[in-house]
Amino acid sequence: MAATGPALELTGVRAAYGRIEVLHGVDLTVPPASVVALLGPNGAGKTTTLMVASGQMPATAGCVHVAGRHVNGVRPDQLARLGLCTIPEGRGIFPSLTVRENLRMITFGGPSLRQVEERAFTQFPRLKERIGQVAGTLSGGEQQMLAMARALGSDPAILLLDELSMGLAPLIVEELYGLVADIARQGVSILVVEQFARAVLGVADVAVIMQHGRATATGSPAELESELSAAYLGAST
Amino acid sequence: METFFQFFIVFALQAAGIYAVAASGLVVTYATSGVFNFAHGAIGMFCAFSYWELSQNRGWPSWIALVVVLFVEAPLIGLVLDRVIMRRLADASTITTIVVTIGLLVAFVQLAGMIWPQGSTTRVLPEFFVGDTVKVFGINVSYHAVIVLITAILVAVVLRVLLYETRLGVAMRAVVDNRELGALNGVHPDRISSVSWMLGSMLAALAGVLIAPILPQFTPVALTLLVISAYAAAMVGRLRSLPLTFLGAVILGEFESLLNWIDTKGIGGHTVADVANDLQTSAPVILLFVVLILLPQDRVAGRSSRRYNAPTPSLRTMAMAMVAYVAGAYVIAQSGWVSKTTVDQLGVGIALGIVMLSLVLLTGYGGQVSLAQPGFAGIGALVVWKMGPVGGLVAGVVICAAVGVLVALPALKMRDLYLALSTMAFALFLETNIYGENALFKQFLPFSVGNASVRRIPGLEGDTAFFMVMAVAFALIVLLLTVIRNGSFGRRLQAMRDSPSACVTLGLDLTATKLQAFGLAAAIAGLGGALLAMWKETSVGVADFSLLKGPLPGLPLVLVAVVFGITTAFGAVIGGPVFVLLPLIGTWYPALENIMNLAPGLAGIGLGQNPDGAVGQVAESFARDEPSADHPPPPPRVPVVPERVGAAGRPTAEEIRELDDVLGLSWGRCETKAAPR
């Protein structure tokens, strides 16, 4: 597996909301079977980068490659069926469907319902107790577990995670990142967007700092620790 | 006992079954696409007429005609609607979806009128197995009634299974929750939306075919308005719950049968029976109104889904524009360049333009949807006819303002869609039970049949003089609106539209603002109606102010107003004359007649592309910036999707690239990264 190209690669990606450009040429590489943490302050363009990578937003310039393939303009549902699993910011679940129906939605990616349920319930026995419950009435942690069940069940090649820790108790965050590490060990390439940097640095192989719509620094988590505070406190780079 | 059974079991349940089928179609499309389809009944009507055409006019066997209509035509209509219109509405504001689907309704009604002209022939669609009956508890029940009931139950079961037990159905419900997340799960949202519109159309067609034989009249408008019954039933289920929707259908069926029973049995004497007979036609409207009032409403909106700005032109600019307008009107009325009929129509256009101005205030500035403005115009006309020109004009305006406030009271907590429905219900109630022909208000009689004569203001009876009166009235209202827009009331309206919740936290009294806006808008519409009645002088009546009937119906009027833009008064300056000239152009050039009749509906549908109205779009096109030159153009879009990617240790990028080399493909990577490394 020596010469394998990156699982996900963004080169010179620009993106805009209407007339306002928020990404000014982002270069980002996720090597196969590794965890990349995308860090940075509010409004740096982390989530937008993820939206472009998952096909939800078109890039106005630049290229997006998945496993060496040029995928600009491929719809998000096509990318999802290809093996690119995205867990969006703020609970990637359908609140008015039951837990079982939420799990059933995962089967659009390819796996059978039996496989999805088996994996989800092995990892999160609590979901099994709540199988008939409407997902919107679950606790925040349970909702995030349900969202993560998709990362487990759909057997992805690439996993994009946005703000996994948002609004959750530190213990649950720790548990979820333990799970991310487990998934990474199975050979899945993972891109994690986080504002809450400490939570993810222990898991990540590579950290990338984003500021003002650009990736400004790349390195091992240890190398970047010092730069992080500067980025968050608004020191110029 | 027999008649009791007949009325409250057979008749009621037959009607309930049809309403249930129609309403469930409405709920399915609303729940899965977020678009409330005002044209639902119109689609059913169109399919029922197609069925008549095939089975009666062309003599096809009924079952073939039925299969063609239900399983070919209806899904096709749904598919085309979805592809061409509805898909673009996914992120549109509620107001836009309302206008677009009303445009569709109007277009379908006009289209049916063109293909199957009314008046010359009376069409009859026979029941299924007409004449065949089955005895239940000693009562003869027609096969048709039995078929209706079985169909309704089947529809209920099939929908339940589809939406809860199949993966497609789960996905349909999931996409409502979160469209993007559906896509991230691998669901193609467009496909889901196609399926739901096809399903909705089929249910509409089924309801249309079932109800057409038992209606007293088989006409496009009668069939289209039956959808109000579906709205009412669907509203009982809050547009979400199918079981409650079916309950709503049963309530409606029983309510109608009760009124029918009172009427037939003559309970409570002659008058009561007659009133019951009148109310029977508007039973769905009454139920709709009651349900909307009783229904727990959504909380105060955080902010409107789409922010737009009503321009604030200076009073000076508008004053100059209005001087030019009045001068132009004088030239047209005086010079004789324009024929008498055209001037007559343009006068109507000015009066209707005033009605449109009421929408500028209410919808354009305040963000409140109202379909009742033509109804208020009717009240204004009625009062001016009853009370004479000068006193009537003043009284009409005052009465309209009062009624407007009264209508706004239950509407206070409603938002866009519910507001549109309740104001539409109110307008329909007005035209069937107040100033339309009915048993309770016999004193409105010549007006109710469109035969009233109205006197003009003494001293200004001449055509030219009165034309100028209307033009000046129009100009003054435009100036009034400009003052309002630039003043504190205008800012309050804008604030209410942008963010009701922010208004509340600022201590702004939303109730008072809303009531004032509704009252003032109703008064303006009433003035427009009164002037219209005086301008016409003879054969004034309900047909001038009806929502769907008559030569210049109210719903197209609202459409034209919105299409020309209701954020500024200029939309009404152009919209009023254009609205009345469309049919006139049709009479000048008969080849264009059909197009002209369809125009308002099509324009309303076109609004989906351009929610700010025509005037807004012209302004916008000047402001649009060019693609900047310093960025490279966006990379090519990939139409073909590569095969599934494996995680490391499974088939990888490397293998895919090798495969490309073997197959001689080079399109997989874009130019900039093609260099080997």
**In this complex, is the C-beta atom of B181 within 8 Å of any C-beta atom belonging to chain A?**
yes
What is the residue whose two structure tokens read 């530190």?
A170
- Burial of B625 by CB count in 10 Å (0-12 exposed, 13-18 middle, 19+ buried)? exposed
Q: Residue A234 carries which DSSP code?
A: T
Interface A:B, Cβ pairs < 8 A: 187
Give the C-alpha distances (Å, rounded to integers) separating B401 from B376, B398, B485. Answer: 9, 5, 19
Which residues of chain A make contact with B657, given a CB cutoff of 8 A?
5, 68
Q: How far is A189 from chain B (nearest CA, A)?
A: 7
Spatial CB neighbours of B394, under 8 Å, sequence gap ≥ 6: none
pTM over 0.90: no
Query: By CB neighbour count within 10 A (0-12 exposed, 13-18 middle, 19+ buried), where does A42 fall?
Result: exposed
Cβ–Cβ under 8 Å, residues B435 and B379:
yes
CA distances from B663 to A37, B128, B655, B657, B658 (A): 36, 62, 12, 10, 9
Q: Do B181 and A94 touch (CB under 8 A)?
A: yes
Strand B133-136 relative to strand A61-66, pairing? unpaired
Q: Are B522 and B338 in contact (CB under 8 A)?
A: no
Of chain B residues 610-669, which have a CB less than 8 A from chain A? Answer: 625, 631-639, 641-650, 652-654, 656-657, 667-669
Q: What is the rounded distance in angstroms from the CA atom of residue B660 to the CA atom of residue B656?
A: 6
End-to-end alpha carbon distance in chain A: 36
Describe chain A by its helix, strand, coil percentages, rounded to 5: 40, 25, 35
Interface test with B, best of A19, A77, A158, A189 (most B CBs within 10 A): A77
Instruction: Walk me through the domains of chain A, giving residue ranges and CATH numbers.
Output: 1-83+156-237 (3.40.50.300), 91-154 (no CATH)
Q: Enumerate the residues of chain A whose CB falls inside 8 A of the CB of residue B652.
A: 1, 4, 32, 67
Q: % helix / strand / coil in chain B, to the nearest 5?
A: 70, 0, 25
Instruction: Name all contacts of B151-158 with Cβ < 8 Å and 24+ positions apart.
Output: B151/B17, B151/B21, B151/B206, B151/B210, B152/B16, B152/B17, B152/B18, B152/B20, B152/B21, B152/B246, B152/B249, B155/B20, B155/B21, B155/B24, B155/B203, B155/B206, B156/B20, B156/B24, B156/B242, B156/B246
Out of A14, A68, A150, closest to residue B668 by CB: A68
pLDDT for the residue B665: 47
Complex confidence, ipTM: 0.84
Residues 6+ apart with CB under 8 A from B340: none
- Which residues are paired to A26 by β-bridges? A13
Distance CA B640, CA B656 (A): 15
Contacts of the segment B327-334: beta carbons below 8 A, 24+ positions apart: B329/B467, B329/B468, B329/B471, B330/B468, B330/B471, B332/B467, B333/B463, B333/B464, B333/B467, B333/B468, B334/B464
* pLDDT of A163 higher than 50: yes
Contact B635 A62 (CB under 8 A): yes
Instruction: Point out the residue among A4, A56, A63 whose CB comes nearest to the CB of B653.
Output: A4
What pLDDT was estimated at residue B479? 93
Instruction: Give me the count of residues in chain B.
Output: 677
User: What are the tens digits of pLDDT across the range B596-633?
Assistant: 777 777 877 777 665 555 555 555 554 444 444 444 55
pLDDT of residue B657: 55
Angle between the N-to-C axes of helices B463-486 and B315-335, in degrees from 0 to 180, rounded to the nearest 10 = 170
CA dihedral B394, B396, B401, B402 (to 10 degrees): 110
How far is A9 from chain B, CA to nearest CA, in Å? 10
pLDDT given at position B222: 82
Facing A11 at nearest CB: one of B631, B644, B673: B673
C-beta of residue A58 within 8 angstroms of C-beta of residue B634: yes
Backbone φ and ψ of A159, nearest 5°: -125, 125
Strand partners, B452: B540
Residue of A nearest to B171 (CA): A105
Sign of dihedral through CA atoms B393, B394, B398, B399? Answer: negative
Q: Taking the CA atoms of B108, B113, B115 and B121 in sequence, report the sign of the dihedral they define.
A: positive
Nearest C-alpha in B relative to A1: B649
pLDDT (tens digit per residue) in A106-155: 888 778 888 888 888 888 888 888 888 998 888 888 888 888 888 888 88
Which letter does DSSP use for residue B8 in this model?
A: I
Kindly provide the b/e burial profile for residues A117-139, where b requires at least 16 CB atoms within 10 angstroms of the residue's own CB. bebbbebbeebeebeeeebeebe
Q: Which residues of A touch B642 (CB under 8 A)?
A: 66-67, 69, 71, 82
As a whole number, the mean pLDDT across chain A is 84
Q: Which domains does chain B have, with CATH numbers?
A: 13-219 (no CATH), 315-615 (1.10.3470)
Alpha-carbon distance B183 to B167, whole Å?
Answer: 14
Q: How many CB atoms lie within 10 A of CB B567?
A: 20
**Per-residue buried b or exposed e for B473-510, using 16+ beta carbons within 10 Å of the residue's own CB:** bbbebbbebbebbeeebbebbbbbbbbbeebeeeebeb
Non-local (6+) Cβ contacts of B31 within 8 A are: B172, B173, B176, B239, B240
d(CA B50, CA B52): 5
Amino acid identity at A228: L
Task: Compute the nearest-CA separation of A74 from chain B (Å).
Answer: 6
Q: Report CA-CA distances (Å) from A152 to A97, A109, A162, B340, B498.
A: 19, 12, 16, 77, 42
Token pair 């009435």 is found at A137
Name the residue among A66, A77, A92 with its Cβ closest to that of B645: A66
B174–A63 CB contact, under 8 Å: no
| Inter-chain CB proximity A189 and B644 less than 8 Å | no
Per-residue pLDDT at B449:
81
Backbone angles phi, psi at B588, to 5 degrees: -70, -45
Work out the minimum CA distance from B271 to partner chain A, whole angstroms: 50
Mean pLDDT of A190-210: 83
CB interface of A with B, residues 199-228, below 8 Å: none
pLDDT digits (tens, 9 = 90+) for A8-46: 888 888 888 877 888 888 899 898 888 999 988 888 888
* Structure tokens given for B274: 């007659």
Cα first-last separation, chain B: 92
What confidence tier does A185 reach under pLDDT thresholds 50, 70, 90?
confident
Share of chain A above pLDDT 90, in %: 3
Distant-in-sequence, close-in-space partners of B330: CB < 8 Å, separation ≥ 6? B468, B471
B297 CB neighbour count, 10 Å cutoff: 12
pLDDT confidence of residue B527 = 94
Within chain B, which residues score under 70 in pLDDT?
1-2, 90-91, 119-121, 296-309, 608-677
